[in-house]
Amino acid sequence: MKTAMVLGATGGTGQVIVSELLSRGIEVIAFGRSQSKLDALMVEHDYNSKLTYKLGNIFDYHTIIKAAEDVEVIFQCANVKYQEMKDKLLLLGESVMKAADTLGKKIVIVDGIYVYGHQVAKGDESHPHQPHTKKGKIRVKFEQLIFSPEWKRANSLIVRLPDYYGPTSQNSYLQPTLEGIAANKISIFIGNLKKSREYVYLPDAAKMIVNIALKDDAYGENWNIPGAGLISGKEIIRIARQVTGNRKFVIPLTKNAIRFIGLFDLFMREIIEIMYLTKEGFILSGEKYEKRIGPIPKTSFKKGLEETLKRLRHVE
């Protein structure tokens, strides 16, 4: 791969994909709709000569086609808000796949684990897709769209991430917790503080995603992107306090608390149905990656949280 385009390049996942591609000497086109955010991305990378950007609308496949004519691989990192998923996710999928199919391009789709529903087996790529939530069912339709036989020339794959964190993270479940601690404020934690769950450090995820994208035989398949292990909210907070010195209270939000807040906040209302993940968790298997790609990058939670909090404190 010598050239690539990243859709949603200024988002949390898009930024780390851009950085990882540039670190390998790959020419990157960052695609997004915000001039100011794309300009900031250029500044972040010191106007790297291998990084350019194109303004465009992810829902208008013509603008994607125009921007991606000369690239080898498209990385689809854009997303829609929870409260807009029902109406917009499939439109997004249709747009990016039309563009990839028209151009005959490889396309890497970054997605999550809602398609699996409750964990009933080992968390590998063959886990049943039996979601019990509205968002999970929409994600199954999204996957079916991506791998539809309608597309004759596009070559796609899907990578699935668990909950994540990292210096570029923007909308993760850990974000309000870490932002509050970094700012020396009282903060919240979504879910049970004692439950150990899987989180992936975004720079690690980016390495794995690009490694997969480089393999011609990886396309046409789902790929899991596991984290470095399991960790509880209490342990995350302990490390974050050690790093920042902030000892202020962290308020755990249970399902009932979020249901109450959801009476006044549409986004929080949408979180309720996927709260099962904060109670049960879902552990992804990396066996397929290890067997066909290689060792899984595993930044320690201590180092990953240090880097994340350093970035958040700098922003503050």
How many CA atoms, within 13 angstroms, populate the side-chain half-sphere of residue 266? 5
74 DSSP β-pair partners? 5, 107
User: What CA–CA distance (Å, rounded) separates 184 from 160?
Assistant: 33
Residue-wise pLDDT for 58-77, tens only, equals: 999 999 999 999 999 999 99
Mean pLDDT throughout 127-153? 96
What pLDDT was estimated at residue 263?
77
pLDDT over threshold 80, residue 99 = yes
Q: Is the pLDDT of residue 6 over 80?
A: yes
- pLDDT, tens digit, 9 for 90 and up, residues 27-51: 999 999 999 999 999 999 999 999 9
In 3D space, the residue among 114, 127, 118 whose CA is nearest the CA of residue 285 turns out to be 127
End-to-end alpha-carbon separation of the chain, Å?
Answer: 37
Q: What pLDDT shows up at residue 275?
A: 86
DSSP assignments along 248-266, one per residue: --EEEE-HHHHHHHTTT-H
Residue 116, pLDDT > 70, answer yes
CATH superfamily of 3-165+198-228+282-298: NAD(P)-binding Rossmann-like Domain (3.40.50.720)
What's the pLDDT score for residue 152?
96
Q: Residue 315: which pLDDT band, with cuts at 50, 70 and 90?
A: low
Predicted confidence (pLDDT) per residue in 260-292, tens digit:
887 787 777 888 888 889 888 899 999 999 999
Rounded mean pLDDT, 100-114: 97
